[in-house]
């Protein structure tokens, strides 16, 4: 009888980040191998004073998935193949690591807010966490390249001032003095929720005065926000699967190195917190709303022009003055955005998607997607899913 491989999970599934990763790990185990998972009570019930290391040594696991438990150094010394998802630093020596492309995350959030027609921007994060600073700097750079500046929320220095009840009025005061309308990137969904709460305290309208986008697409947090929070989604399940595959190779001795895998963002899940068009020109706003409402239809430029009181030439000029691109470019941009969501969030074939969106065939979809994204649809799907 073949013995199963013993895998220890030192990962708390309390957030979408870890739940998505664990889902990918579970998928690999179902499809590829005889794995038995262990989640030691000694890790889950730290307040009980239990000791984790003796349990691990007695268990003699074949592999370990972990975040950063207090016993990290001692676990590494055990010499067990280990895949780590660090948060206090980018990588941990002695183990394989999974990191996040924070620059790509910030660029995607910035692009989403810029395409709303906003001209004022801000960032709200944690100044004492390196990953938040990385996202902050990349967001500010992306906004700067578009010709704008971003205000930065400064976290209270004292830990005692960083509690919800004390920080909320401070954040509300910061929001009060920002130029409006403003687009704010929060370093994660928890921070985005706090921004929305602070807007309520200050009496600011979301998204009309303050548009907010978070990161991680934690559906529980995002959907409970009022209004629901837009968020950058990441390829968590795919990276969980890849991490499991890599650990399996390490256990079998096929993978001799300790590789570093990278989580990349897939798309922005747009919810009500960014459902705004911060454009002064009412005819351009009418046209933009028409494009968004008809995104599933294969509309043309002339149809967009007909919902306004302007000539085609005049509307084209106003589009370029306001958004920096043509009506046709906006139609294509919005449709590519929908294509991206359908590729990531559904299992429909490219042919089915083409039929649903009114394209002549799958080849047209592929050409449009490749032109916009630099990659064909199926390759993109494989990178974002399993």
Tens-digit pLDDT string for the chain (386 aa):
457 899 999 999 888 899 999 999 999 999 886 899 998 875 665 544 468 888 899 999 999 999 988 899 999 999 999 999 999 999 999 999 999 999 999 999 999 999 998 999 999 999 889 999 999 999 999 999 999 999 999 987 766 666 767 889 999 999 999 999 999 999 999 999 999 999 999 999 999 999 999 999 999 999 999 999 999 999 999 999 999 999 999 999 987 788 999 999 999 999 999 988 888 888 999 999 999 889 888 899 999 999 999 999 999 999 998 888 899 999 999 999 899 888 888 888 999 999 998 888 899 989 999 998 888 898 888 777 54
What is the secondary structure of 321-356 as a DSSP string?
HHHSS-HHHHHHHHHHHHHHHHHHH----HHHHHHH
* Whole-structure pTM value: 0.84
**Quick one: fold of 282-384?**
Arc Repressor Mutant, subunit A (1.10.10)
What is the C-alpha separation between 109 and 330, in angstroms, rounded? Answer: 18
The pLDDT tens digits for 195-238 are: 999 999 999 999 999 999 999 999 999 999 999 999 999 999 99
Right CATH for 102-233+268-274 from 3.40.640.10, 3.40.50.150, 3.30.450.40, 3.40.50.2300: 3.40.50.2300
Taking phi over 0 as left and psi of -120 to 50 as alpha, with beta for the rest, 121 belongs to beta
Do the beta carbons of residue 277 and residue 286 sit within 8 Å?
no
Instruction: At 218, list the tokens.
Output: 């934690």
5-101+235-266 against 102-233+268-274: fold identical = yes
Greatest alpha-carbon span in the chain: 78
- Give the homologous superfamily in CATH for domain 5-101+235-266: Response regulator (3.40.50.2300)
What is the C-alpha separation between 377 and 336, in angstroms, rounded? Answer: 10
| Closest to 150 (Cα-Cα) out of 172, 102, 118 | 118
The pLDDT tens digits for 125-164 are: 998 899 999 999 999 999 999 999 999 999 877 666 667 6
Compute how many other C-beta atoms are within 10 angstroms of the C-beta atom of residue 295: 15
Task: Look at residue 44 in the predicted model and tell me its pLDDT.
Answer: 60
* 234 bridge partner residues: 265
Task: Look at residue 161 in the predicted model and tell me its pLDDT.
Answer: 67
What is the C-alpha separation between 276 and 220, in angstroms, rounded? Answer: 23
Do the beta carbons of residue 22 and residue 239 sit within 8 Å?
no
Do the beta carbons of residue 251 and residue 63 sit within 8 Å?
yes
Q: What angle is formed at CA 253 by the lines to CA 56 and CA 34, rounded to 5 degrees?
A: 60
| Closest to 234 (Cα-Cα) out of 211, 260, 268 | 268
- Alpha-helix residue ranges (DSSP H) falling in the chain: 16-32, 41-44, 52-59, 72-77, 102-114, 130-145, 164-176, 189-202, 219-224, 236-252, 282-293, 301-306, 312-323, 327-345, 350-356, 362-373, 377-384
Query: Residues 6 or more apart from 146 whose CB is under 8 A from it?
Result: 110, 114
Query: How is the chain split into domains, by residue range?
Result: 5-101+235-266, 102-233+268-274, 282-384
Query: Residues 6 or more apart from 114 whose CB is under 8 A from it?
Result: 142, 143, 146, 183
Could you tell me how far CA 324 lies from the centroid of its own chain? 26
Task: Look at residue 26 in the predicted model and tell me its pLDDT.
Answer: 95
Q: Indicate the length of the chain as a whole number.
A: 386
State the angle between helix axes of 130-145 and 102-114 in degrees (0 to 180), rounded to the nearest 10.
40
Task: Look at residue 50 in the predicted model and tell me its pLDDT.
Answer: 61
| Closest to 60 (Cα-Cα) out of 83, 35, 74, 80 | 80
* 156 bridge partner residues: none
| Closest to 20 (Cα-Cα) out of 230, 175, 210, 242 | 242
Per-residue HEC secondary structure of 55-78 comes to: HHHHHCCCEEEECCCCCHHHHHHC
Task: Look at residue 111 in the predicted model and tell me its pLDDT.
Answer: 95
| Closest to 100 (Cα-Cα) out of 261, 251, 336 | 261
Do the beta carbons of residue 32 and residue 248 sit within 8 Å?
yes
Which helix (H) or strand (E) segment is 182 a member of?
strand 182-186
């Amino acid at each position: 009888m073949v013995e199963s491989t013993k895998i220890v999970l030192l990962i708390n599934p309390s957030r979408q980040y870890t739940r998505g990763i664990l889902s990918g790990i579970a998928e690999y185990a179902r499809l590829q191998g005889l794995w038995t998972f262990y989640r030691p009570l000694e890790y889950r019930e730290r307040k009980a004073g239990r000791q984790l290391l003796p349990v691990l040594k007695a268990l003699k696991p074949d592999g370990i998935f972990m975040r950063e438990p207090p016993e990290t150094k001692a676990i590494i010394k055990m010499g067990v193949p280990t895949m780590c998802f660090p948060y206090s630093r980018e990588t941990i020596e002695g183990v394989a690591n999974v990191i996040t492309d924070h620059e790509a995350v910030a660029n995607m959030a910035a692009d989403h807010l810029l395409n709303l027609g906003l001209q004022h921007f801000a960032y709200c994060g944690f100044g004492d966490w390196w990953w938040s600073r990385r996202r902050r700097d990349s967001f500010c750079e992306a906004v700067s390249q578009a010709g704008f500046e971003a205000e930065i929320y400064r976290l209270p220095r004292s830990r005692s001032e960083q509690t919800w009840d004390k920080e909320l009025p401070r954040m509300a005061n910061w929001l009060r003095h920002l130029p409006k309308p403003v687009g704010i990137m929060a370093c994660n969904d928890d921070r985005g929720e706090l921004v929305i709460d602070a807007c309520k305290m200050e009496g600011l309208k979301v998204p009309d005065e303050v548009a907010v986008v978070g990161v991680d697409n934690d559906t529980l947090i995002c959907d409970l926000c009022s209004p629901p929070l837009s968020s950058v989604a990441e390829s968590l399940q795919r990276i969980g699967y890849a991490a499991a595959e890599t650990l399996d190779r390490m256990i079998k001795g096929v993978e001799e190195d300790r590789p570093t895998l990278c989580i990349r963002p897939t798309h922005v899940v747009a919810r009500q917190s960014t459902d705004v068009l911060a454009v002064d020109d009412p005819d351009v706003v009418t046209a933009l709303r028409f494009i968004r409402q008809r995104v599933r239809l294969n509309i043309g430029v002339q149809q967009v022009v007909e919902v306004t009181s302007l000539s085609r030439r005049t509307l084209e000029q106003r589009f370029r003055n306001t958004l920096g691109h043509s009506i046709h470019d906006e139609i294509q941009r919005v449709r590519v955005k929908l294509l991206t969501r359908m590729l990531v969030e559904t299992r429909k074939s490219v042919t089915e998607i083409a039929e649903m969106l009114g394209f002549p065939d799958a080849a047209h979809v592929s050409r449009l997607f490749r032109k916009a994204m630099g990659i064909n649809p199926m390759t993109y799907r494989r990178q974002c899913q399993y």
